[in-house]
Structure 1
Amino acid sequence: MTLPSPPPTFNSLDDTPQPVSGRANRYAPDMVVPLHHHRRGQLLLIVQGTALIAAGDCRWMVPAQHALWIPPGTEHSLQMLGSTASHSAYLEPDLASALPRRACVLGVSPLMRALMAEVVALPHDHGADRRAALIVALILEEVARLPELPLALPMPREARLAALCRDFVAAPTPRDTIDRWAGAAAMSRRAFTRAFREQTGLSLVAWRQQASLFAALPRLAAGESVTAVALDLGYESPAAFTTMFRRVLGQPPRRYLGGGAVS
């Protein structure tokens, strides 16, 4: 088995004299990068595989060809779902000031993917190299245009609610009910719905839609059929799953994943 590249030496990435530095990494299945932070902002592009990234009370599922923007100083951890490869660009804090102040998943244009492949190949001491300067300038221009995608999954703080959410992520089903969740948490329906929304910012229905996407995206990105994924998740038909997918992400699965999933 090919050993993964070691995690980056965070101080060296933060301290390089270049305003934007890059790094490529490969990770073994289920590898975990523990909680850490960078002085710089990080644009983390998943080139292959899928990563589950946590920061505070929020989780992000980042499939291949998508990126997570991590603002400067944000503590975060990563878990790889299958063999995973990434390209990262680290931006000086003053260059990151125009980008979101919270972590978020970004859609990545073909141009940005090509630029990320170039920046990770640059030597850290590229200095006044004109081509390197143009690559960095174009990255800064393009990153501000990347669209934010609704792929965050906030997790409640309260232990009983968090346990129910973890169980659902492990085995999602659209047929679960608020009453069952409230009963399992030993709460009234009203108290449960109020607490859940206060702690996640979402209704249970909206949260479960996001969680279903978390379960579906790695499988679809790996090439599994929409039909198989939809039925395994408990949807009555592929059309019902596709409707949910389009409502949340704005496109049907095949188009969203660039043709990687088949019906």
Structure 2
Amino acid sequence: MRNIPVAEVDDLDRAVLAIGTDYPHDHLLAWHEHRRAQVLYAATGVMQVETADGGWTVPTARAVLIPPATRHQVTMTGVSTRSLYIEPAAVPWFPARCRAVDVSPLLRALILAAVEMEPRYAEHGRDAAVAALLLHELRNLAPLPLDLPLPAEPRLRALCEAFWSAPDIHDPPARWCAALGVSERTLARLFRRHTGLSFAQWRQRACILRSLRYLAAGMPVTRVAVTLGYDNPAAYTAAFRTLLGRPPSAYRSTGAVPGPP
């Protein structure tokens, strides 16, 4: 199925529904939720998925698991998606919070094949076997640290969101302390309590995740490093590897929309 709202097929008695959707550049899919669990796969481009407690930056060829009835919005940058909508009873193991995941070549091929299936596929046969194998493969996905936790405390959240829009790796904690009227020790406690990360860890993660958008847009690594305030490209690349385990080149978008396998 392609470019149809999930609401049109949500009541079909099939555990797995697959829909491919092409979005305009820089499209905002406003706040909404689904009855089914969703596997949102970025065939091209970069997605920014937001919920009340954080954001997930999902580059090309990765996916995010979105639990049932989770209110979220998605910013699409050059994105074509392939989504699986799954009956909650079929995935009792599904995470309670969004989770970014790597996608194996086999799972990618299964997702692309599922999009080509009829929505009311035969309950026995090849399409049903594809759906069943999808459910098996989804259980073994490797999580990726592509999430940026956001605090519930309103003033700190506002500062975090402002930083996220234009991150700078050398933004000093003293500036945040002055804005909040607290000491650096109190700021450290607030970050630990509300995000599970230290201020420096959160700042670093925000910079690296923001850089995924720049890389997908074709920005050279040297310019990315300068934009984020790193002293040199090597420092940026080292920080990138530390968080994501691969060099920035591994997260560049090809710009190609995959076809059926």
- TM-score norm. by structure 2 comes to 0.90
Q: CA deviation at 1:128?
A: 2.8
Deviations 1:66-95 (A, max 9, x none): 1000112222111222x2110001111122
Whole-angstrom CA distance in 2 between matches of 1:107 and 1:51: 14
Instruction: Tell me which residue corresponds to 2:247.
Output: 252
Secondary structure of residue in 1 paired with 2:90: coil
**Structure 2: tracts of 5 or more residues without a match:** 255-261
The aligned length equals 253
Instruction: Tell me which residue corresponds to 2:259.
Output: none
**Which structure 1 residue ranges, 4+ long, deviate > 6 Å from structure 2?**
none
RMSD of Structure 2 on Structure 1 (CA): 1.9
Secondary structure of residue in 1 paired with 2:10: helix
Instruction: Tell me which residue corresponds to 1:84.
Output: 79
Deviations 1:171-207 (A, max 9, x none): 2111112122111222222222212221222111111
Whole-angstrom CA distance in 2 between matches of 1:54 and 1:176: 23
Of 138, 146, 169, which aligns to 1:174? 169
Q: Does structure 2 retain, via aligned residues, the 8 Å contact 1:5–1:27?
A: no
Secondary structure of residue in 1 paired with 2:92: coil
Higher RCO (C-alpha 8 Å, min separation 6): 2
Q: CA deviation at 1:129?
A: 4.9
Whole-angstrom CA distance in 1 between matches of 2:239 and 2:251: 15
Matches within 5 A, 1:78-157: 78-81=74-77, 83-157=78-152
Deviations 1:27-72 (A, max 9, x none): 1123222222222111000111111111222111111111000112
Single out whichever of 147-156 and 91-100 deviates more from structure 2.
91-100
In the superposition, relative to structure 1, how do residues 9 and 139 fare at CA in structure 2: closer, same or farther (>3 Å)?
closer
Instruction: Tell me which residue corresponds to 2:201.
Output: 206
Of 58, 62, 66, which aligns to 1:62? 58
In the superposition, relative to structure 1, how do residues 114 and 222 fare at CA in structure 2: closer, same or farther (>3 Å)?
farther
Q: CA deviation at 1:116?
A: 0.8
Whole-angstrom CA distance in 2 between matches of 1:24 and 1:16: 17
Whole-angstrom CA distance in 1 between matches of 2:103 and 2:252: 12
Q: CA deviation at 1:108?
A: 0.7
Percent of aligned pairs sharing the same letter:
39
